[in-house]
């Protein structure tokens, strides 16, 4: 088999890249380790920035997103028992974010790929990438017990944090930066109306909590938990009880509880790989970097990488110029590090860190108080939250 770009991974990064390349007339094949249903069952991001909205439109798959997505112009920060609104829209000259689940965005991209009958191999096992330091890279995999080989011009590693592409880069050519946080997020999805019409990020003495949503009838809530916790040991009742203890009286009163549709624990990590290019192999999305989820930057960073990578491939084929490919790492990393910094800062501001004691909470509350009362500080937060300019 031969293609122009072999894409490893059918998460949002791989699917979006495939669709944008197809629209530009560039052949591509996507290889995914799991089934499509499994990919859709992973409940992850909920908030998308303008860069991601624009790319979905450019890919021609934005119609349902515009119909069903909820536009949000602000968030509430809860600390010291009181809520304070940050007016993102007002502070950024009219910018917003949108509530549109990663599951829905992925489903739209999968549907488009199927309707156009574009090649995608689910349950592709033992994917291996090689010869990307030559002009003829290869990707091999097994499907239904048969070995297959794809010859290509380029490999796009969109295979997430545990993927094979980054792991195949020569150790001497790669530098990795990592911080692992001493807690995780226990998340619960329920078919219940959200407690508030915007998101609530809560700093409480019992730890961080987040009230998010997927629609007017579906809610997503998170509570900070120690890494030692097991999801099986958290009943729905125990979750709701803990969440309530971290909210303000009004939210506690209004919260509608119900059975969980999904419950899982996600660890928190900051991680960056430098560079993102290894000869003819390029990393995009979680394959190259991870942010702790506080502030919702992960999917949006993946979208930015895909924007730069798709335009670099298009430039290569249409204009015979490699300028975009040559500057890919540098352009992405400049934005990645700013989002990494923001996510690290917001995580530090909102969570309880074991062993840091009550003084740490006092410092946080002082910073939060400054943040919500200083227009300059609120603007810094708002600009970062809605997404820095490209």
**Residues with catalytic annotation?**
72, 201, 293, 297, 385
151: left (phi over 0), alpha (psi -120 to 50) or beta: beta
Nearest approach, Cβ of 21 to ligand DHB (angstroms)?
A: 28
User: 367-373 contacts: CB < 8 A, separation 24 or more?
Assistant: 368/77, 368/79, 368/80, 368/84, 368/203, 369/79, 369/80, 371/77, 372/77, 372/84, 372/86
Contact by Cβ (8 Å): 209, 221:
yes
Select the span of 69-77, 143-151, 152-160, 243-251 touching ligand FAD (CB under 6 A).
152-160
Contact between 163 and ligand FAD per CB under 6 A: yes
Pairing, β 75-79 against β 199-204: parallel
Q: Identify the CA nearest to 73 among candidates 96, 49, 100.
A: 96
Contact between 387 and ligand FAD per CB under 6 A: no
Q: Is the peptide bond preceding residue 317 cis, with omega within 30 degrees of 0? A: no
Contact between 294 and ligand DHB per CB under 6 A: yes
Contact between 32 and ligand FAD per CB under 6 A: yes
**Six-digit token pair at 378?**
């609120």
Smaller CB distance to ligand DHB: residue 216 or 318?
216
Select the span of 127-135, 164-172, 266-274, 291-299 touching ligand DHB (CB under 6 A).
291-299
Nearest approach, Cβ of 319 to ligand FAD (angstroms)?
A: 27
Contact between 154 and ligand FAD per CB under 6 A: no
33 contact, one of ligand DHB, ligand FAD, none, CB 5-8 Å limit per kind = ligand FAD
- Is residue 172 packed enough to be buried (19+ CB in 10 Å), middle (13-18) or exposed (0-12)? exposed
12 contact, one of ligand DHB, ligand FAD, none, CB 5-8 Å limit per kind = ligand FAD
Interaction mask 267-306, ligand FAD, x per CB under 6 A? ------------------xx------x--xxxxx-x----
Nearest approach, Cβ of 294 to ligand DHB (angstroms)?
A: 6
Q: Give dist(CA 178, CA 160) in Å, integer.
A: 15
**Six-digit token pair at 384?**
């970062």
Contact between 220 and ligand DHB per CB under 6 A: yes
Contact between 46 and ligand FAD per CB under 6 A: yes
Binder among 9, 73, 157, 293 for ligand DHB (CB under 6 A): 293
295 contact, one of ligand DHB, ligand FAD, none, CB 5-8 Å limit per kind = ligand DHB
Contact between 296 and ligand DHB per CB under 6 A: yes
Contact by Cβ (8 Å): 12, 48:
no
280 contact, one of ligand FAD, ligand DHB, none, CB 5-8 Å limit per kind = none
Q: What is the DSSP string of 21-65?
A: HHHTT--EEEE-SS-HHHHHH-----EE-HHHHHHHHHTT--HHH
Give the number of residues in contact with ligand FAD, rule: CB under 6 A.
37
Contact by Cβ (8 Å): 22, 118:
yes
220 contact, one of ligand FAD, ligand DHB, none, CB 5-8 Å limit per kind = ligand DHB
How far is residue 49 from each of residues 97, 148, 250, 381, measured CA to CA in Å? 5, 38, 29, 14
76 contact, one of ligand DHB, ligand FAD, none, CB 5-8 Å limit per kind = none
Nearest approach, Cβ of 378 to ligand FAD (angstroms)?
A: 21
Pairing, β 289-290 against β 260-274: antiparallel
CB atoms within 10 A of CB 232: 7
Q: What is the DSSP string of 298-335?
A: HHHHHHHHHHHHHHHHHHHHHH---HHHHTHHHHHHHH
CB atoms within 10 A of CB 323: 11
- Residue number with the smallest Cβ distance to ligand DHB: 46
Contact between 148 and ligand FAD per CB under 6 A: no
266 contact, one of ligand DHB, ligand FAD, none, CB 5-8 Å limit per kind = ligand FAD
Cα–chain-centroid distance for residue 367? 26
Query: What residues make contact with ligand FAD under the rule CB under 6 A?
Result: 8-14, 31-34, 39, 44-47, 102, 124, 127, 158-160, 162-164, 185, 187, 266, 285-286, 293, 296-300, 302
Query: What residues make contact with ligand DHB under the rule CB under 6 A?
Result: 45-47, 199, 210, 212, 220, 293-296
């Amino acid at each position: 088999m031969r293609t122009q770009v072999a894409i490893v991974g059918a998460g949002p990064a791989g699917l979006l890249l495939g669709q944008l390349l197809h629209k530009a007339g560039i052949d591509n094949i996507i290889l995914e380790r799991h089934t499509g249903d499994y990919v859709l069952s992973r409940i992850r991001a909920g908030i998308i920035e303008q860069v991601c909205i624009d790319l979905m439109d450019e890919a021609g798959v934005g119609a349902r997103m515009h119909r069903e997505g909820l536009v949000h112009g602000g968030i509430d920060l809860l600390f010291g028992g009181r809520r304070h609104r940050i007016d993102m829209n007002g502070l950024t000259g009219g910018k917003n974010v949108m509530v549109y689940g990663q599951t829905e965005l992925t489903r739209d991209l999968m549907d488009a790929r199927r309707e156009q009958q574009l090649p995608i191999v689910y349950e592709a096992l033992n994917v291996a990438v090689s010869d990307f330091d030559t002009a003829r890279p290869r990707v091999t995999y097994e499907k239904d017990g048969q070995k297959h080989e794809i010859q290509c011009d380029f490999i796009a590693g969109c295979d997430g944090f545990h993927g094979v592409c980054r792991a195949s880069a020569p150790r001497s050519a790669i530098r990795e930066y990592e911080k692992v946080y001493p807690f995780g997020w226990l998340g619960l999805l329920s078919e219940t109306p959200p407690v508030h019409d915007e998101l609530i990020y809560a700093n409480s003495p019992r730890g961080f909590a987040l009230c998010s949503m997927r629609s007017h009838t579906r809610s997503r809530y998170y509570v900070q938990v120690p890494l030692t916790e097991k999801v099986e040991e958290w009943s729905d009742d125990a979750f709701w009880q803990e969440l309530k203890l971290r909210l303000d009286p009004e939210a506690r009163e209004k919260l509608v509880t119900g059975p969980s549709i999904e419950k899982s624990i996600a660890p928190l990590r900051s991680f960056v790989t430098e560079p993102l290019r290894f000869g003819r192999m390029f990393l995009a999305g979680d394959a190259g970097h991870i942010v702790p989820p506080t502030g919702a930057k992960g999917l949006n960073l993946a979208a930015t990488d895909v924007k730069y990578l798709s335009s670099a491939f298009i430039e290569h084929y249409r204009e015979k110029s490699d300028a975009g490919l040559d500057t890919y790492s540098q352009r992405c990393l400049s934005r990645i590090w700013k989002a990494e910094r923001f996510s690290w800062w917001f995580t530090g501001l909102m969570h309880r860190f074991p062993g840091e004691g009550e003084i740490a909470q006092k410092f946080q509350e002082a910073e939060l108080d400054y943040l919500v009362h200083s227009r300059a500080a609120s603007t810094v937060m708002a600009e970062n939250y809605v997404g820095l300019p490209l």
